[in-house]
Amino acid sequence: MQYQFDFAALMPYWQDFLSGALTTIEITVFSVIIGLAIGIACAIARRSDVPLLRTVVGIYIEAVRNTPFIVQIFFIFFGLSSIGFRLPILAASVFAMVINVGAYTAEIIRAGMDSIHPSQIEAAEALGLSKLQIYRDIILLPAIERVYPALSSQFILMMLSTSICSQISAEELTGVANNIQSNTFRSLETYFVVALLYIAITYLMRAAFFGLGLIAFPRRRRLGLGV
């Protein structure tokens, strides 16, 4: 059986591919920024001296980490709409990803914070640093630096997970591809192009995280490290 490739049939849809790729990047950027903030807050809460706070955050993290992302996005988009709380498609996509990113990021950052030796905290207290200064300069920033490669990988994985948003008709890259292949009947060519675009976005994100790591963490720059 011979298959005749016909990429020319996809040329009229190049703007759709570009639009889908940009939507994927936009969803990822918003989700990463907000999810990182939530993750940091939850990591701090998990280490707090308030049992109720630790329990509530722990339930949130375990609930997210032990359920599929597609179930989470269906719950937010379809489940909440059944009780009158309906979100637009893109808002629901970002909301689901923020919740997911926040939970996984919290555990990664908490692991980094746990790796800080107690003697460093004791030395900071002996120097008279405030609790805010200790958390920011002695615990949080070094912790994020240590787990930065893991965080970067997690964010890239979440970018790839935006493809699941197509299940609620989000017009990201996979959703656009589904529409194009249904119009052209060129499934192999369509998803081949989509795969290349995902690879391009992945390498773009890796380069961005590498550069950000060199800027945010001078020690990594001196050692020639990035992501």
In terms of Cα–Cα distance, which of 132, 160, 134 is closest to 27? Answer: 160
Question: Which amino acid, 176?
Answer: V
Task: Label residues 95-108 b or e (16+ Cβ within 10 Å = b).
Answer: bbbbbbbbbbbbbb
Tokens representing 211 are: 């550069």
Indicate the pTM of the whole model.
0.89
- DSSP, res 128: T
Residue tagged 């790839």 (tokens):
160
pLDDT tens, residue order, the chain (227 aa):
678 888 999 999 999 999 999 999 999 999 999 999 999 999 999 988 899 999 999 999 999 999 999 999 999 999 999 888 899 999 999 999 999 999 999 999 999 998 888 888 888 888 888 888 888 888 888 899 999 999 999 999 999 999 999 999 999 999 999 999 999 999 999 999 999 999 999 999 999 999 998 888 876 555 555 55
CA 109 from chain centre, in angstroms, equals 14
